[in-house]
Structure 1
Amino acid sequence: MSKIVKRTLDFIELFAEERRPLSLSEISRLLDIPMSSSFDVVRSLQERGYLYELGQRAGYYPTQRIVRLAAIISENDPILMRADIMLRALRDEFDETVSLSQSTGRQGKYLLVYEASHPLRYTARVGDSLRSLHATSIGKGVLATLSPEDLDEVLSQPLQPLTEHTLTDPEKLRANVAEGAKRGLFINREESAQAIITLTSPFRWNRADYFVTMAGPLYRLEPRLDEIEQRLKQICRDLEMPDTK
């Protein structure tokens, strides 16, 4: 990633984390960068209307311009527009956390997350990267999209156990992934966290791989697994768009 782009994104994420005005010296210290670099980025963001100074020596804070632009972008995202209503309805129907993610190669990101209302619930954040491909249902979905050569490379690496149920044998994991691909449903039953189950169904849209996932405590989801599986698969069929040439 470009150093300039990375530094600018670091600035935006820093204000989201700190949730308060920050001085140049604080920005430099928190991001561990020279004061001159902080000044250059602050000045550029000010000139473009993304940052303002509250008062002399009172610190800087982002303007609402970022919010307005983000809202416009989000409201016109073609896949999110199609998925939003369906995934919200799925969350409301089962009152369990539902997410939409997308993968590129071995990397993936959460695009939408709708959390359950229960105090005990699975949580994830939009923009977070997918973790532990070998121990999560989304990760298994990602593995199923890889070429045989790439899959072999992944499985040649040590598979770290996260719980006593994590599949750490490469051939058992390979078989599990193949079974999930054939079934159209990947399952993580206490493989990444105790007493948690996640179920993921895949679909393709515009030659990209997407995944719809429901996650929650095993005791709440297990009695409804068949019902959840059918709903996940139906939503993915509804969302899928044939690849365009």
Structure 2
Amino acid sequence: MQERNQSASLRRALTLLDHVREHPGLTLTQLAEAAGLSKSTVLRLTVPLVEAKLLDRDRRTGVYRLGHGTLRLGQAYLATLDLRAVAAGESHRLMSEVRETVHLVVHDHPHVVYIDKVENEANVRMASRIGSRGPLHSTAVGKAILAWLPEELLAELVLEPRTRHTITDAERLRAELAHIRRRGYAVDDRENEPEVRCVAAPIFNHHDAVAAAISVSGLTSRITAARVRELGPLVAGAAVRISRKLGSTSR
């Protein structure tokens, strides 16, 4: 019984940590309401998180933010990802060639996690952040990965609309994924952000399983529908070269 209670407490503490990650600057009352817990329970659960520097609570305002301990964990995690080092050269080469923002993501079902970003400083900066997550169904990087995942994983997705262009019908999404497999790259045509287009291609690991994706993103005024057709093969080529460096023989 004690072990079960400890497990439940751990899950609730991790839920609180996730709420603060998504909404930094929550007060005790706001955090308790978001988690559906009493304020006394939140206080009890956050004490060890604060002690471990995973959370920080402002002494003056009482608001919670992520602590620097999460940065250490994140850096340790990223250090184990050879993908970032392997893809760095291709990411910078692709950005120099197309002069748009390049993203590198990994799959964390039902999301993608942005692990690297190379920006063209002369352009309007994209709002994405390293460490942030995005949905599989509405991002080009997500669809590039989803197209090579088992069919049953698609059924688990909640196809929430992000913009009026988001594909929310499962059959239409299946048809889109089949098209992605045929041409080798995916397109987010204002499906995740209203004024942004993105072109992405899948990256395969040494098991020839899809594990990541690389993309080019920009405002629709710069990445027109016609330019998408030019960018697609360039992004796909970069993804193939990264995949080969990871030991893949599938492409």
Would you call these one fold, judging by a TM-score over 0.5?
yes
Match of 1:129 in 2: 134
- Normalization by structure 2: what TM-score? 0.67
Q: Secondary structure, in 3 states, of the residue corresponding to 1:201?
A: strand
For residues 27-80 of structure 1, give each alpha carbon's deviation from its aligned partner in whole angstroms, at most 9, with x where no partner exists. 54665532332332233235545567877x885876544433433332332222
Residues 159, 169 of structure 1: 8 Å contact kept: no
Unaligned runs of 5+ in 2: 1-6
Instruction: Supply the AA of the counterpart residue of 1:187.
Output: V
In the TM superposition, residue 108 of structure 1 has moved relative to its aligned partner by 2.3
Say which is worse superposed, 9-18 or 210-219, in terms of deviation: 9-18
Match of 1:209 in 2: 211
CA distance in 2, matches of 1:76, 1:160: 34
Instruction: Supply the AA of the counterpart residue of 2:10.
Output: I
CA distance in 2, matches of 1:104, 1:64: 23
Match of 1:34 in 2: 38
Residues 112, 142 of structure 2: 8 Å contact kept: no
| Structure 2 residue 113 is the aligned partner of structure 1 residue 102 | no
Residues 50, 66 of structure 1: 8 Å contact kept: yes
Instruction: Supply the AA of the counterpart residue of 1:140.
Output: K
- Normalization by structure 1: what TM-score? 0.68
For residues 117-143 of structure 1, give each alpha carbon's deviation from its aligned partner in whole angstroms, at most 9, with x where no partner exists. 466454334331315x1x543343244
Unaligned runs of 5+ in 1: none
From 68, 71, 75, the equivalent of 2:72 is 68
**1:62-211 superposed matches below 5 A:** 64-103=68-107, 107-114=110-117, 115-117=119-121, 120-125=124-129, 126-130=131-135, 133=137, 135-148=138-151, 153=155, 162-163=163-164, 173-206=173-206, 207-211=209-213
In the TM superposition, residue 232 of structure 1 has moved relative to its aligned partner by 1.4
* Identity rate, percent: 20
> Which one has the largest radius of gyration?
1
Residues 96, 216 of structure 1: 8 Å contact kept: yes
Match of 2:20 in 1: 14
